[in-house]
Structure 1
């Protein structure tokens, strides 16, 4: 069954080297208006020779560019992200209308910075962008993690099993 983008979320907590399983208490990164994919397709590496009558390719490595998450400019989120500074964060993208990743969950470690967006004119909603720079590859963790929305702005993430 197809799902809408309603309640797609990105949640974060400060990373600790002692705990690499992504369990813990998370906060909403920003009330998002747009969320980029946490995973990217692999590069293609051309393997064509002079003997081939058509180009051929091999699967290359995946790229891992920064990701820009857009939301309304709200002091709470701007201050929270600014407070992380250069600290490493555990980051989880939650997909599904249940708001807890019922369709898909991706987890990775990275850093985040927030900046107000340009203002284009009168009568606009002010926006901000949170730029996430991944330092590990994203991992599909849909069946490995359980997420509970505590309904107070926090989320409890536990490892299945």
Structure 2
């Protein structure tokens, strides 16, 4: 994905919690990422990554803040109603594995305002620098078309309280 003239995100020197992670600090890191992504604001999400962070998002490979901001801007322009939940899957001293689900819709026919909802099921592999900023993010996900009646993350629902049954894990 080509980089545009998107402004670089401001950098913080550290992004607590810092490695080495414990179960508690890894869990905090996961929920902080979930909350940032649910803002749908690339300028809020990007500072969590190192300046030269390497990403793989499905079949897209990119590196650096400008590319991350461009990617997220395009993603959230087409994925309407985006709501995400992340759960800690595993961790080591400086790595975290995350399982996630998010829902979004696309306009099938703008003239009729018909929406098609999707749920993405996926896993992420994160590696962190000593300053707590992510230096590598690898994502794999699968989108499944769902009916409006099958949605979990409706407006006003706390994504953390949704009971996601074992068949979806």
- TM-score normalised by length of structure 2: 0.28
Greater Rg by CA: 1
More helix by share: 2
More strand by share: 1
Using CA pairs below 8 Å that are at least 6 residues apart, which structure has the higher relative contact order? 1
- TM-score normalised by length of structure 1: 0.29
